[in-house]
Structure 1
């Protein structure tokens, strides 16, 4: 891990990068990019301020009068703002001609009308109260512009364009700075990334020292195959040792569970994970769940047409989107199609193809003491009883593996429960 690092860069050139060189490359480029980023942020702030001012000025572009001169009035007071169209029409029809004010309409849209009104200084409180009763929303214009609002708007547009050109130039400078050090940066990244990975591993290790040497001890679990491969990989490395614990009584922690199932049953691991992974020494029930779930689904939802739709749609979603539930649906579609052919059902129609086994709606079975019951119902109950018996057997096997004698014989799902339930099933 601590040797010189070699990297084959694009174009075929080989580049060495020591840790010190990598750090200096990153730091120098970071300083350059920080300066450019700070410069860009200042330009963005200036553009935002100008845009805010422009948003205030543009609605009054219809006022053909110098804004600075309006702001300098002494005996006439002015108010910039907007009023809803509904109240503007009422104000114009019933109020405007009865009060001492001059109103100038600047801009309008479907909801609001932007206006400027002027009142004598002595009457401003009274007139302001009347406008306020009409829900007038006052707005304040910046006082650093000369000319009309239209001229001020054009001036602001020019300034914003200049700032956007400067921002674009800074972005180009950032790209150029990165491209100029691209090869060095790639080599530095790979070098620092290696050290970062090593550090992340060491955070999980116990650290001890002997003389001037530091040792890192990592304890964990690997599959037997991976452990053998790892030992073979480090057999020529004098600084790395791997010890496999053979005494199971000396193991202090509980082994993790890693499920390994055929690809067809991989999606059904979703259901196992929902209820909790089995312990290390227990049987993985994924295959059993996959078979029983798919079989019962097809038995209860036997339809060749809809089964094919589930099969194809689920397969495509699982193949391209990796949706595990879609894989489960696809497996269920297989059994649904099979039972659909056995029941002679296609998209709910039972007269298109002959039934290879029986018609669920017509098939009846005579049972002692009970009478006639639907055959599909009887078979479903029988399958349910069989699954319960299988689960009891699996529980006994798991108990034997964990050396829990009490659970093997006296648990409700142990030998006692199995004998009782099996005798009851046979009696029925």
Structure 2
């Protein structure tokens, strides 16, 4: 069924809004409306213009909260807002140092990666690289050449050129090396190497010692950076773990304060003789509204006016479903298609009964139904899964129809059918002939459900005062 709603207008001194929210309003569910939009006939209203001072701190602590391994398992401690903000600053400062170290290491890693990649194929060159890079009268080029072209080059051309090619390393396709040529022959030899698809690799002037020594130095530093990054990652993880309770507690405190402060966006202000007053408007269930009024009856700073759904509110009352525990999981299906309007019928109970009944009729089996019931019940109790609750309820009907059909884990001869055997039961239908009984019953039940849904549509149309839809809609009286 749909809860009956009450429209509340709450007012008090502007400076008292936080106390009212934290002391009273936070204990109840309320659907707030924009007071300026609701109270259009009230003069001298202005918006409650203040910037939320907790937003930045909340955003910061949220970023740390999301990095925790399993924050939902950590129970927050009671923490006031001043301590929460100090906690955010302390955690931010501690983590910033680790992030700065990480950034420095990543920057150095990026700088070292290219030189390491360039020198790696030439690490077997046993000569001082910096001296090669400073040759004046001998030209050189580092690079790579495909193996097939190198074989042709060595067989047909190499011995006829004034050049020296030193192999340094190779992979599946290429041979890496460096060739030397006298200055006066350089132009000709460069052209020959180019014709053999020699790809030049430019070596920056920043290596010291032999290629092996340069590579070893860079590779050692590369490994050191990786170890430092791993250590930094572990330090960050440990820092967050050590401060996890503080982070969760600070987030809870800031969440509460920020939510309370955000209520001001929907509040309006009106000037009084001595004070400025806030006005909040919203919907509560009748039960909560009465409890709220009782809660504040002795508080002289708060005044609350309660009206029913016929009050001159510009917004329609929100819909809140209230169903027995047995039917509550089936609200999932209703919400999938959209909640009914406030003055319409709640179809949850109808969905629950018909869904379970049809499931049981289709899959009537004592053994399998019992498995569905117990498995669904276990998941619903432990994981709070609505779908598991639905499966459990459907399992009960499956067991019931299993006895009706005499079926146990697919065996039709273990139990005696109380009602009928679906495959064998036949019945005579006037003007049609002999048909399967379950087939006929299914058609009749389908007709019954369609008629009931048409009746629901008529009832909803009457409640909305829509005469045309009540009588002449495709699912109406006509």
TM-score relative to the length of structure 2: 0.69
Partner of residue 12, structure 2? none
1:298 aligns with 2:364: no
The equivalent position to 2:143 in structure 1, one of 72, 80, 84, is: 80
In structure 2, stretches of 5+ residues that fail to align are 1-17, 23-76
State the partner residue of 2:157.
99
Corresponding residue SS for 1:146? coil
Q: What is aligned with 2:37?
A: none
Instruction: Between 301-310 and 161-170, report the one with greater CA deviation.
Output: 161-170
Q: Aligned to 1:254, what secondary structure does the other structure show? A: coil
Q: How far did residue 187 of structure 1 move?
A: 9.1
Q: Distance in 2 between matches of 1:185 and 1:291?
A: 46
1:10 equivalent in structure 2: none
Contact 2:81 2:254 in 1 (8 A): no
Aligned pair count reads 396
Three-state SS of the structure 2 residue aligned to 1:250 is coil
Per the alignment, in what secondary structure is the counterpart of residue 331 of structure 1? Answer: helix
- The TM-score with structure 1 as length reference comes to 0.76
Output the CA distance in 1 between the equivalents of 2:220 and 2:178: 29
Match of 2:265 in 1: 203
Distance 1:331 1:241, change over 3 A: same
Match of 2:456 in 1: 394
Q: Deviation per CA, 1:188-242, whole angstroms, max 9, x where unpaired?
A: 8777655433321112222334467443322111111111222233334333332
Q: What residue ranges of structure 1 are gaps of 5+ in the alignment?
A: 6-13, 418-428
In 2, the alpha carbon distance for the partners of 1:205 and 1:192 equals: 20
For 1:328-339, list aligned pairs within 5 A: 328-339=390-401
2:193 aligned residue (110, 127, 135): 127
CA 308–142 in structure 1, closer or farther in 2 if over 3 Å, else same: farther
Q: Is the 8 A contact 2:169 2:177 kept in 1?
A: no
Matched, 1:117 2:183: no
Contact 2:88 2:250 in 1 (8 A): yes
**Structure 2 partner of 1:45:** 107
Structure 1 residues 267-276 or 204-213, which shifts more? 204-213
Distance 1:171 1:186, change over 3 A: same
Deviation, 1:185, is 9.0
Distance in 1 (CA, whole Å) between partners of 2:473 and 2:372 is: 40
2:340 maps to 278
Whole-angstrom distance in 2 between the partners of 1:384 and 1:232: 50
1:233 lines up with 2:295 in the alignment = yes
Deviations 1:276-320 (A, max 9, x none): 211112221111111111211221233344434444444454444
Partner of 2:278: 216
1:250 aligned residue (271, 296, 312): 312
- Residue 58 of structure 1 is matched in structure 2 by 120
Taking the aligned partners of 2:332 and 2:244, their CA distance within structure 1 comes to 44
CA distance in 2, matches of 1:213, 1:179: 48
The answer on whether the counterparts of 1:68 and 1:143 sit within 8 Å (CA) in structure 2 is: yes
Give deviations 1:365-393, integer Å, cap 9, x for gaps.
01111110100001111111222232233
| Residue of structure 1 equivalent to 2:65 | none
Structure scoring higher RCO (CA < 8 A, sep ≥ 6) equals 2
Q: Distance in 2 between matches of 1:386 and 1:15?
A: 57
- 1:71-114: CA deviation from partner (whole Å, max 9, x where unpaired): 23342322234x6xxx52x23443432233655444455x4545
- How far apart in 2 are the matches of 1:403 and 1:130? 90
**Aligned positions of 1:345-384 closer than 5 A:** 345-384=407-446
Verify the 8 A CA contact 2:373 2:391 in the aligned structure 1. Answer: yes
- Alignment partners' CA distance in 1, 2:383 and 2:252: 31
Contact 2:406 2:417 in 1 (8 A): yes
Q: Quick one: structure 1 residues 55 and 351, their matched pair in 2 at CA, closer, same or farther if it must change by over 3 Å?
A: farther
Structure 1 residue matching 2:343: 3-state secondary structure: coil
Q: CA offsets, 1:121-152, max 9 Å, x none?
A: 222133123225xxx5x544442121223312
CA distance in 1, matches of 2:368, 2:440: 24
Are the structure 2 counterparts of residues 398 and 166 from structure 1 closer, same or farther at C-alpha, using a change threshold of 3 Å? closer
The Cα shift of 1:53 comes to: 2.8
On the 8 A contact 1:60/1:114 being kept in 2, the answer is no
